Amino acid sequence: MATSVRQLIKRRKNRLHRDTSRVIKRTHIPTNFSRIKRIADRVLVLQESHAADLLQEVLASFSSRHKNIELSLAENFKKVCDYIDPAIDISYTKQILIGAYFTMEYSVESAALFNPSIVPHPNQSSLESGELRFIMSLRATGEGHISSIVFRTGLIEEDGAVAFDNITDFLQTPKMIHDPYYMRDLFQMKLQDMGVWDDTSIKIIERLPDVFTFNDLTESILQVHQDTEFESNEKTLVKIKWLANSNYKIRFDAKSKISERVIFPVSENESRGIEDARFVRFSDDNGEITYYATYTAYNGYNILPQLIETKDFLTFNIITLNGAAVQNKGMALFPRKIKGKYVMLGRQDGENNYILYSDHLHFWQEAILIQEPLEPWEFIQIGNCGSPIEISEGWLVLTHGVGAMRQYFMGALLLDLNDPSKVIARLNEPLLSPTEEEREGYVPNVIYSCGALIHNNRLVIPYAMSDITSGIATIKVDDLLKCMDRV
């Protein structure tokens, strides 16, 4: 009797559980502007000694939970100071105290910690023979089901054992900075792809230099909007601002640890969450390494395909993906170009697996169907579980399938190395399916991953259990290939 792949895969004891004590600071400002003034006025009438006592209570209670808490409160005061009478001389104590009234804590993973992906760490120095340092990204979900990206680091040992680094009590959100510059030609191409290349956008773009800043764009929009001899298209103005605000840069404090960094929604387009980042270590033709991640931005009504770009996990560029082929979820970028083209897996119809090719990383217009549901455990839908992994036999792709009672399973494909639109082998049974322990959670009966890696001929698969907790499974690559059927 043939050995089942499920007998060969090994679940490790490692578990990553949600931790409600991991909190960030968020601005908490009412939308009713008159209310902002009333709150500030209540602080301003306090005796200075009373205000000092109240501030001391705040700092004593929250300084151990956040780094530089006083600086954050000062920044939040600046966000509301325009609503306060400028003639009033406000002491430093009351400024910080007012900032505290417009600040709140948010527990980023109070609901779940799931859908992980894993990549080699940029720093592989000072390791023992056979070890690999890694970075794992996870989708953290808190109050209101708002999703963000958090990170863990650790080591994979020669025998496949996984050890996570200890984490601190602190979390940090980054500083948001609009791109220091935009390329006019690229910005124009994105507007054309969005279908908003009209007299208004032409008039705005032609005023800009070949390389322009966010302030340049804002000034050009203002000039066009104020031109009494020209009737601007308000919808076009909104979409231009939307595009600019969807492309930005974030930077963390260089002193922070990677596990302290949280990519939390900062733009309107992702206000309800950053979902299912699939990180990949991408090698360019010149050998330069960049880490990319595709993710889905969600604002409560619409999804927006986005791309993260980083070299050091300290500074991240956030870029909009455009084109008819990237309007659905679940894109996964190949780790290098193939025959001069970028290649990506993705969904088009929520049911089948597709492959996409493009000359430009930001634009994806066409998709080719490569896999349809075949086995009973994937009759409802199939999709990828992260970026393909290159081995000598082909491109190894982890997949997910959905079967009866909306139960998720994990499978595997092998694509041709030179023509990845061709499936050359596949598993006809699940690689992973939820155990009794794993099937209970926020969304029951789900096994899911956003990306694995191979180390010492062993496939290391971080995976989520029922959208609440994450674990790790490993299998020797040779064993997996022997269980796959040629197509």
Q: Which of 246, 276, 298 is the last residue of a domain?
A: 246
| 168 lies in the same domain as 212 | no
Say if residues 422 and 393 touch (Cβ distance below 8 Å). no
| 293 lies in the same domain as 368 | yes
| 298 lies in the same domain as 198 | no
| 95 lies in the same domain as 121 | no
The predicted structure's pLDDT at residue 127: 96
E strands along 51-179, which residues? 103-107, 112-120, 132-141, 147-156, 162-164, 175-178
Q: Which two tokens stand for residue 230?
A: 């020209």
| 103 lies in the same domain as 120 | no
Domain count, the chain: 3
Q: Any idea which of 162-171, 240-249, 328-337 has the lowest mean pLDDT? A: 240-249
Mark out the alpha helices in 63-108 (DSSP H runs): 69-80, 92-101
399-443 pLDDT tens trace: 999 999 999 999 999 999 999 999 999 999 999 999 999 999 999
Q: Which of 228, 246, 264 is the last residue of a domain?
A: 246
The predicted structure's pLDDT at residue 106: 96
| 242 lies in the same domain as 263 | no
206-252 pLDDT tens trace: 999 999 999 999 999 999 988 999 999 999 998 999 899 888 899 99
The predicted structure's pLDDT at residue 267: 78
Exposed, middle or buried by CB within 10 Å (0-12, 13-18, 19+), for 278?
A: buried
**pLDDT over 80 (residue 178):** no
Q: For the packed helices 69-80 and 92-101, what is the interaxial angle rounded to 10 degrees?
A: 80
**Cα 29 from Cα 42, distance rounded (Å):** 15
Domain containing 80: what range? Answer: 23-107
**pLDDT over 80 (residue 393):** yes
**Cα 344 from Cα 404, distance rounded (Å):** 29
How far, in Å, are 73, 424, 479 from residue 427 at the CA level?
54, 11, 12
Say if residues 249 and 316 touch (Cβ distance below 8 Å). yes
Say if residues 140 and 108 touch (Cβ distance below 8 Å). yes
- Res. 354 pLDDT band, cuts 50 70 90: very high
**pLDDT over 60 (residue 1):** no
| 102 lies in the same domain as 112 | no
Say if residues 178 and 243 touch (Cβ distance below 8 Å). no
- State which amino acid sits at residue 144: G
Checking phi first, is residue 424 left (phi over 0); if not, alpha (psi -120 to 50) or beta?
alpha
Query: With the C-alpha atoms ordered 281, 283, 288, 293, is the resulting torsion angle positive or negative?
Result: negative
| 240 lies in the same domain as 334 | no
Q: What percent of the chain has pLDDT over 70?
A: 100
Contacts of 42 (CB under 8 A, 6+ apart): none
Task: Specify which residues 459 forms β-bridges with.
Answer: 454, 475
| 324 lies in the same domain as 426 | yes
441-469 pLDDT tens trace: 999 999 999 999 999 999 999 999 999 99
Q: Any idea which of 17-26, 294-303, 344-353 has the lowest mean pLDDT? A: 294-303
The predicted structure's pLDDT at residue 181: 86
**Cα 36 from Cα 147, distance rounded (Å):** 28
| 370 lies in the same domain as 465 | yes
**Cα 105 from Cα 28, distance rounded (Å):** 9
| 274 lies in the same domain as 224 | no
- Res. 180 pLDDT band, cuts 50 70 90: confident
| 326 lies in the same domain as 433 | yes
114-140 pLDDT tens trace: 999 999 999 999 999 999 999 999 999
- Res. 271 pLDDT band, cuts 50 70 90: confident
Q: Which of 62, 87, 107 is the last residue of a domain?
A: 107
Say if residues 158 and 132 touch (Cβ distance below 8 Å). no
**pLDDT over 80 (residue 2):** no
Q: What is the CATH number of the domain that holds 333?
A: 2.115.10.20
